[in-house]
Amino acid sequence: MIKTRAHLHIRGKVQGVSFRYYTLQEAQSVGVIGWVRNLWDGRVEALFEGEETAVDHMVQWCHSGPTSAAIDDVDILWEEPTGEFSNFRVRVTASGM
């Protein structure tokens, strides 16, 4: 089983539409660990780690998101998995710089 990690920044109508909580449900349903949070600039940031097929599923899911969202763009950075997480959670909003 091949493990991978994807770090995403999602732009569009992604805040105020329960994007983080739908992401939590989807990630838990496919067994991905990591986190999701709102950013101060209106984007959503997510980090997915797990089996390659499950992480690929989450990356594809983020291109459409829940029906309440409207995705404009998804930036993806593929990274080496670290195994630092034990579950998937919603993190506190990141503050501005």
Active-site annotation, residues = 20, 38
Rg over alpha carbons for the chain, rounded to the nearest Å, is 12
Q: Are strands 88-90 and 33-38 parallel, antiparallel or unpaired?
A: parallel
Domains in the chain: boundaries:
3-90
Mean pLDDT, residues 72-96 taken together? 91
pTM for the model: 0.93
Model confidence over 17-68: pLDDT tens digits? 999 999 999 999 999 999 999 999 999 999 999 999 999 999 999 999 999 9
Asked if the 3-90 domain carries CATH number 3.10.20.30, the reply is no
